[in-house]
Copies of this chain bind each other. A is one copy, B any other.
Amino acid sequence: MHFTSESSSGGVTQRRFTLDGVPGVLWQPEGLPLGGRPLVLLGHGGGGHKLGPGVVERAGRCVRGHGFAAVALDAPGHGERPRSAQDERFATEIGELIAAGRPVSAWLARHTAALAERAVPEWTAVLDALGEEAVGEEAVGEEASTGAGEGLGPVGYWGLSLGSAIGIPLAAAEPRIAAAVFGLTGHGSQTEAAERVGVPVEFLVQWDDRLVPREGALALFGALGSRQKTLHANPGGHLEVPDAELDSSERFLTRYLSAG
């Protein structure tokens, strides 16, 4: 993990890094160690990136509101990462399909599954590297010594749409994830991974989502193997999740990560 820049503002330190060519950002409370602290993985949506406004806002809430750390990566083909010919084709074709009023869900699921296959090991590598980072921290001063050298605290995942297409197989494979917020996704091809998710999940559905058919999203919620899972559905399209749900998902993650 190679840190490339660091800046602090309003009590939040933002550190950009790359790991095996994947660019990411780490946020943590200024002057305090990563060790022992809850960490939230922030997955952006399709077309977004690690420093998109929603991601940065949620990172700020994690750090300022709860003293957590947060980390975001550019998904394959997003942000600063090169786009493959397939990524380019996808970006063009989805616009055409939507404009033509044709169903996009199967095609979206196929493309995001290909991205997830690359992204899951990237997130795992980032967790490994941040774990080493936390263990290697040296105690500086009395307050900073709390948690220094301890390794990571409990880990949560927050990501909708593409962020869930990646997050669901990640949570299925990655025992360090203790709770997750998913949603705006749902295709039969995700069922098997969803069944292997065992941690508490809050799952968001937009009732009038034209990218993700409601039935597919409801079925994916049903398939989640988690004993504790809760579905929140609201009227409106894919991009119209109400602000109250962002508050709710913050409370949800906090409930499970603060107790850890």
Contact = CB atoms under 8 A, between A and B. Distances in A.
Contact of A234 (B218, B230, B235, B255): B230
Interface string A228-244: 11111111000000101
A235 B227 contact: yes
A207 interface: yes
A221 B207 CA distance: 10
B233 A231 contact: yes
A234 B231 contact: yes
A118 to B, nearest CB: 32
Nearest to A203: B233
A125 to B, nearest CB: 33
A222 interface: yes
A248 interface: yes
A222 B207 contact: yes
Interface string A203-227: 0010100000000001001100001
16 contacts: A205-B231, A207-B222, A207-B231, A218-B218, A221-B233, A227-B235, A228-B235, A230-B232, A230-B234, A230-B244, A230-B245, A231-B233, A231-B234, A232-B232, A233-B233, A244-B255
